[in-house]
Structure 1
Amino acid sequence: MRTRSQRSKWIIIGSVIGLLGIIAIGVGVGVGVSQNKSSSKTSSNTASANGATSNSSSNGDPVQTNPNDPSTFEKDPNLHQSFYALAYTPAGSQLPNCTNSLDDVIEDIQVMSQLTKTIRLYGADCNQSALVLEAIKQTKVDMQVYLANYPTPDDSTAYTRQRDEIKAAIETYGTDHIAGVTVGNEFMLNYLNANGATDPNSAVGNQGAAILIADINDTRSTLSEMSLSKTLPVGNSDAGSYFNTEVLEAVDYGMANVHPWFANVTVQTAAAWTAEFFEETNVQPAALLSNKPTMYIAETGWPSFSSDAGNANNGASDASEANLQIFLDTFVCQANQNGTGYFFFEFKDEPWKDAEFGGVEGWWGLFHSNRTLKRLQLPNCVLN
């Protein structure tokens, strides 16, 4: 959900750390992310490398034995719940043109439920919280969702508008399938960029943090007033280098976007860089705080394409399906073994990002936008 300008400072910081990470890897300091050639993998639908058939239509929509009952969708034997979690935004969920639909979200949930039991949203506009919870209800899958509120520094109404959407969804569907509520996605990164600063713990950073913490506390109050039978954790998501300490002290969990692509590292070292960066920049500092927030990788992945030649290489490796495959091979099963909580970025390509930002922005999906799997072999490994 970031523009190129918003990522610029993150790229610079990531690049420096990435160089250090490469040096460390060269002397054997990788964190359990060596290639596991022996782990079995699988591919699905028309892009299957082994020719296996898929229980989906030609456009990637799952087949239902009863067309009127979404819970009767046929499982694809080539898909496995090997991912800790996935990042997800329903297509058509950006204001002012809300074009999302329940049917589309249902089909997404049918596929994603075969890959993971957990997904995260980024915001609540366009009724996406209710759509996802209704889709989970109709498909009867075992899935948890982190609902999200996407406040922005330049729109004072964004937070309250989405808060009310989330509240209405919870009142309708309860909390059985809600893992938490995330307030803010790269709010601090955007606030610092808008105010010409770089340090999230500077005076400027603390000014932005105060705005965000007020929203976090209001979310807690709203949930408390609802007398929920299940206490929902409240968290925050930001770029890995941009967490403000006061914000982390106000939440139950933090989600860090950790992208080796934007750190300009090679795809061969990307998984090790991701593990090392997350541990040193996010996990260890959070463990020193009195509330000890649980830390997750909110986004990590590798782009499979660029809309223009100028962004087709990060200075070290290409954006390609072959390199996405390498990152899958070296990150997913190893992260599972290490007990790392991560949200793979992302389920499927997002054409609106390509139209608005170009470059690699719209091409991070495991699946094409029509739910057909890319030329990939997906991991088949056990979650700890």
Structure 2
Amino acid sequence: MKGAIVVAATAAMAGSANAVNHGHAHKLFAHKRNADLCSTWVTTIWEETVLTLTPTQAPEPSTTPAVASSNSPVTTSSAAPVAPTSTVKLPVPTPEPITYATPGTYTVPATTVTVSETTTVCGASSTHVVPGTHTVGGVTTVVETATTITCPVATATTNNGVVTSIITSTEYVCPSAGTYTVAPITTTVTKETDIHFPIPTSYAPGTYTIPQQVVTVTETDYVYYCPYTSSTGLPTSSVVPTVIPVTLSPTQPIEAPKPTTTAPASQSEAPKSEASKSSDSPKPTTSSTPSTSKPPSGGFNGSFGNKGNHYGITYTPYYGESGDCKDASQVKKDLQEIKNEGFNVIRVYGTDCNALETVGPACEELGIRIILGVFVKGASCSYESKEIKDQVDAIANWKYLGLVDLMVIGNEVLMQGLCQPTDLASLITTAKSKWSGYSGPFTIAETLNIWERSDVTSALCGVVDYTGANIHPYFNSQVTPATAGEFVSGQLDILDTVCSGKKAINLECGWPTEGSSNGAAVPGKVEQLTALKSIREACGDRTVFFSFENDMWKQPGSCGCEQSWGCKEFFKGLL
């Protein structure tokens, strides 16, 4: 295997090994296309190089104590904020978990790591699961023909309560074309808990840095992941076997869990993350109906910035824990944080929680543009519906319409069966007639499979300026965090062809930090870092990231993931 193969003791896994009652069934080869298993492997090459880990003494606490990375649990204390008691440094830029025992404000010092050769290590990953059997980890690859692959495999051994993760290089024979997962770990748990497991992670030669960061902690035993986000090398968050895989195509994914949460009383329902479904056909039929909409006049071209940027993020003025409405001062504080993280655009789903009154003035002061929506949750898309009429009329009289780059009418209303395509088109036409102060573009937010329906394209291509879609790679079981960007970019390419001459825009896209594994799509904090980095680099200029913070007031849903899409910590790490 090219490059170095490293073994690292993952101390963070030791605590979970004792806390969870489970058994590991290491399925060394799982074929995802059908029930057949690829059970023929040629040879296994065990390579171990021990990496010496030298703990260093943590600094004494101060008003903003400097904190180094810790992989060990920290005892909770009622004293002033204290830094972790030990530091374990790996000579590779793995996202570094830091455990803070007590609330307080901490400074994470700048760190630089130089990698001289391609290096594969055991990265530590985790995911929050509900009772049941879950498959995690492993390396997923796609092969076009019968072939032999050489693949690094992460395994774990326990000695005196210490879990050591080891990378081994193994050759496997794939008897036919298909999608394979090498060495996944199947775990059964009897209660809701966190599963920790090793994953192979490769880093190319280069210099990787973590800039100095200030972290405000409001809870005890809080774990913060510090990603290395800039480098002269090209890190990869998962290992690709030494065989050229088939490019991921948007084959039919699994149905996304349908959330059952309703929003807090007296508020419009907040948006839920749904599956980014795709069609079996890679080339959807383009509507023959000529476009009758005027060209966009708001100066918006479907892009939030140059390739790799992250200019859009969804924002709802709810407190994440309770779902209560935020006041103007808290909204301004949130938007200042969003601006500081490099965003120039926010997506607001509707007018509830006094969004127009609180978001408008703050965005004007901070120089943030807005994608504004009319949220439809009832059984009608008619303007005469009181809930819709109130929103449309309020927007018509809003003095901050000059801040709006794009109007989005509805959020997955066709997918939910709340109205028919012709009714939604009629609502868009009515909104245009009511909003004389706005001359910019319009769209809707649906999934790809909805856009591919002929009744949708015939009714809506003529009244929208962009094909707006919500694309969530987590809900496709073949997509790993590392290939999330490739998947989203492929979906956008298809959406670009749906309405002739009209460009697609990704209005909602993220990766959960908790929940059940969906095939190769594994939730987790490290996985979110990997997925968002992949999406940002592949198509960040056309993506609105979901979402600013976690929504703990929602129900977790059947996927166990609906509460945990908050991604502001990732973007803080880019500063």
- TM-score band, normalised by shorter chain: 0.5 to 0.7
Note closer, same or farther for the CA distance 1:269–1:358 as it changes in structure 2 (3 Å cut). closer
User: 1:220 and 2:220 equivalent?
Assistant: no
- The answer to whether structure 1 residue 154 and structure 2 residue 379 are counterparts is yes
Please tell me whether residue 315 in structure 1 is matched to residue 315 in structure 2: no
Are residues 1:304 and 2:304 paired?
no
Structure 1 residues 182 and 160 mapped into 2: Cα distance closer, same or farther (>3 Å)? farther
Distance 1:38 1:273, change over 3 A: farther
Letter in 2 for 1:141: L
**Cα deviation digits, residues 347-380 of structure 1 (max 9, x gap):** 111112236777101101113xxxxx36x77446
Amino acid aligned to 2:460? V
SS in 2 for 1:164: helix
- Aligned residue in 1 for 2:462: 249
Partner SS state of residue 504, structure 2: strand
Structure whose residues are more often helix by fraction: 1
* 1:204 alignment partner in structure 2: none
Q: 1:359 aligned to 2:573?
A: no
Name the amino acid aligned to 1:126.
C
1:325-362: CA deviation from partner (whole Å, max 9, x where unpaired): 111222213324xxx41101111111122367771011
Specify every segment of 5 or more residues in structure 2 that has no aligned partner in the other structure, as ranges: 1-31, 34-140, 150-176, 178-202, 217-223, 229-307
Deviation (angstroms), 1:117: 0.5
Q: Structure 1, residues 281-333: CA drift from partner, whole Å, max 9, x if none? A: x11223xx2xx333210111110112xxxxx2112132101001111222213
Instruction: Say whether 1:89 aligns with 2:316.
Output: yes
- TM-score, scaled to structure 1: 0.64
Residue matched to 2:446 = 238
CA distance in 2, matches of 1:183, 1:165: 11
Distance 1:250 1:121 in 2: 21
Indicate how the Cα distance of structure 1 residues 48 and 117 shifts in structure 2: closer, same or farther if over 3 A, else same: same
Give how far 1:170 is off. 5.2
Whether contact under 8 Å (2:372, 2:407) holds in the other structure is yes
Structure 1 CA distance for aligned equivalents of residues 510 and 210 of structure 2: 17
> How does 1:62-211 map onto structure 2 within 5 Å?
82-91=309-318, 99-114=325-340, 115-137=342-364, 140-152=365-377, 154-155=379-380, 160-169=386-395, 171-191=397-417, 208-211=420-423
Q: CA deviation at 1:111?
A: 0.7
Going from structure 1 to structure 2, the CA distance change for 1:333 and 1:148 (only over 3 Å counts) comes to: same
Contact 1:325 1:377 in 2 (8 A): no
Is the alpha carbon distance of 1:283 and 1:156 closer, same or farther for their aligned partners in structure 2, counting shifts above 3 Å?
closer
* 2:497 partner SS: helix
The corresponding residue for 1:272 is 486
Aligned-partner residue type, residue 446 of structure 2: D
CA–CA separation in structure 1 for the residues paired with 2:207 and 2:449: 34
Distance 1:363 1:235 in 2: 27
Match of 2:215 among 40, 45, 52: 45
SS in 1 for 2:414: helix
Query: Closer, same or farther in 2 for the Cα pair 1:270/1:178, shift >3 Å?
Result: same
Structure with more of its chain in strand, by fraction: 2
8 Å CA contact 1:146–1:181 kept in 2: the answer is: yes
Q: Distance in 1 between matches of 2:208 and 2:405?
A: 30
Corresponding residue pairs, total: 284
Which residue of the partner structure matches residue 284 of structure 1?
497
Task: Tell me how far apart the structure 2 counterparts of residues 216 and 44 of structure 1 sit (CA, whole Å).
Answer: 44
Structure 1 counterpart of 2:183: none
Verify the 8 A CA contact 1:328 1:379 in the aligned structure 2.
no
* Aligned 8 A contact 1:283 1:295 in 2: yes
Partner of 2:3: none
Report the counterpart of residue 263 of structure 1 in structure 2.
476
Please give the secondary structure, in 1, of the residue aligned with 2:565.
coil
Quickly say closer, same or farther: Cα 1:129–1:253, change in 2 above 3 A: farther
Q: Does 1:330 align with 2:540?
A: no
1:295 aligns with 504
**Cα distance, 1:179–1:353 mapped onto 2, change above 3 Å:** same
Q: Is the 8 A contact 1:333 1:379 kept in 2?
A: no
Whose relative contact order is higher, 1 or 2, with alpha carbons under 8 Å and at least 6 apart? 1
Segment drifting more, 346-355 vs 176-185: 346-355
Secondary structure of the residue aligned to 2:373 is strand
Query: Could you list the per-position Cα deviations for residues 218-273 of structure 1 after superposition, in whole angstroms to 9, with x for gaps in the alignment?
Result: 1011013xxx2x51222211122212202132112232111111111222222211
Q: Aligned partners of 1:332 and 1:38: how far apart in 2?
A: 20
Name the CA shift for 1:156/1:48 in 2 (closer, same or farther; >3 Å): closer
Query: Match of 1:182, SS?
Result: strand
Counterpart Cα distance in 2 of 1:38 and 1:147: 40
Where does the alignment leave 5 or more consecutive residues of structure 1 unmatched?
1-14, 28-34, 52-80, 195-206, 307-311, 368-372
**How far off is 1:23 after superposition?**
6.4
Determine the C-alpha separation between the residues in 1 that align with 2:396 and 2:573.
33
Cα gap change, 1:356 to 1:268, in 2 (>3 Å): closer
How far apart, CA to CA, are the structure 1 residues paired with 2:210 and 2:536?
11
What CA deviation, in whole Å up to 9, does each residue of 1:20-63 have, x standing for no partner?
x9669x99xxxxxxx99778665652447389xxxxxxxxxxxx
Contact 2:556 2:562 in 1 (8 A): no
Report the Cα distance in structure 2 between the residues aligned to 1:50 and 1:185, rounded to whole angstroms. Answer: 32
| One-letter amino acid of the structure 2 residue matched with residue 145 of structure 1 | I
Shift of 1:125: 2.5
SS at 1:176's partner residue?
helix
Relative distance call for 1:49 and 1:379 in structure 2 (3 A) is closer
User: Aligned-pair RMSD on alpha carbons?
Assistant: 3.6
Partner SS state of residue 362, structure 1: coil
Following superposition, the deviation at residue 163 of structure 1 comes to 4.5
Work out the CA distance in 2 between the residues paired with 1:357 and 1:92.
23
- Cα distance change on mapping 1:249 and 1:160 into 2, 3 Å: farther
Change (3 A) 1:353 1:45: same
- Deviation, 1:278, is 1.9
SS at match of 1:361: coil
